Amino acid sequence: MLRKITLAVASLGLLAGLTTACGSSDSADKADGELKVAVNPVPHGEILKYVKDNLAAKAGLKLKIVEFDDYVQPNTALVENQVQANYFQHVPFMQEFEKAKGKKLTFVAPVHLEPLGVYSKKLKSLQDVPAGATVGVSNDPANQGRGLKLLADNGLITLKPGAPTSATPKDIATNPKNLKFKALQPAQLPRSLDELDLAVINGNYALKTGLTPAKDALVLEKAEGNPYANGIVTLPEKAGDPRVKKLVQLLQGPEVKKFIEDKYQGSVLPATGS
């Protein structure tokens, strides 16, 4: 009996040692391990690849880029701890996700702005929009409201006083051209231009389908005072992760600012004046 007790105690001691070792490894990974970041491929993945290829090693940062083509999976991957951060969204979109899913995220820092644009294959200017035209807008609340505001800012509609950032066609006060709105997944909008009179398209999906926002959009959002800068998002408990802080420092640095300006020529804008 004494021998059995001794063996049991020894086994517990070994298990405790293994648990401690695993804990130490996790702690080391916290500071020195690979940082997995979920992105949309364009421009987020391209910008992050520039950082990985040119800046990360010198800064002591190991990066793994995980690409998703939609606006759903990057946040799902984050809350399920498949990645430690994501880079694809703006604050209003994040807030809509929090409200819908009952999850709390932290917007760590802005990196760039993709000006939302109005596009058409049938019209040369907003002055040519005919009565009863069909307008494609995003089916996610934050970007649908953003698109309606862009149309209102350019005189096609007016919104009711106090309309929320997640405004829908129900929040339209006046619609003098009797525009008809078709809500589609953001990625589908540029591919639907043949069937629509015009569409309000997010910059990343415009770029991915060969559009050049700075040249092809009938109108683009203004950058000044724009609340829709895309940035690094993580879980609240990971906001202090030194790897996340290091990534933000690189993304807001002068090298990335120059890369964005040179590569995108006004179609994507740095969100920081660094």
For residue 29, pLDDT over 60 is answered with: no
**How many domains, in total, are found in the chain?**
2
Same domain, yes or no, for 237 and 101?
yes
Q: How confident is the model at residue 222 (pLDDT cuts 50, 70, 90)?
A: confident
Do the domain assignments include residue 97? yes
pLDDT digits (tens, 9 = 90+) for 78-103: 999 999 999 999 999 999 999 999 99
Do the domain assignments include residue 178? yes
Do the domain assignments include residue 173? yes
Same domain, yes or no, for 206 and 149?
yes
For residue 24, pLDDT over 80 is answered with: no
Do the domain assignments include residue 5? no
Q: How confident is the model at residue 30 (pLDDT cuts 50, 70, 90)?
A: low
Retrieve residue 261's tokens: 């300006």
Average pLDDT in the 58-80 region? 97
Same domain, yes or no, for 210 and 237?
no
**Separation between Cα atoms, residue 127 and residue 57, nearest integer Å:** 51
- For position 89, which CATH number holds? 3.40.190.10
Higher-confidence position of 216 and 8: 216
Same domain, yes or no, for 122 and 210?
yes
Cβ(190)–Cβ(205) below 8 Å = yes
Same domain, yes or no, for 103 and 176?
no
Q: Which of 13-17, 24-28, 132-136, 160-164 has the lowest mean pLDDT?
A: 24-28
Domain range for residue 75? 33-115+227-270
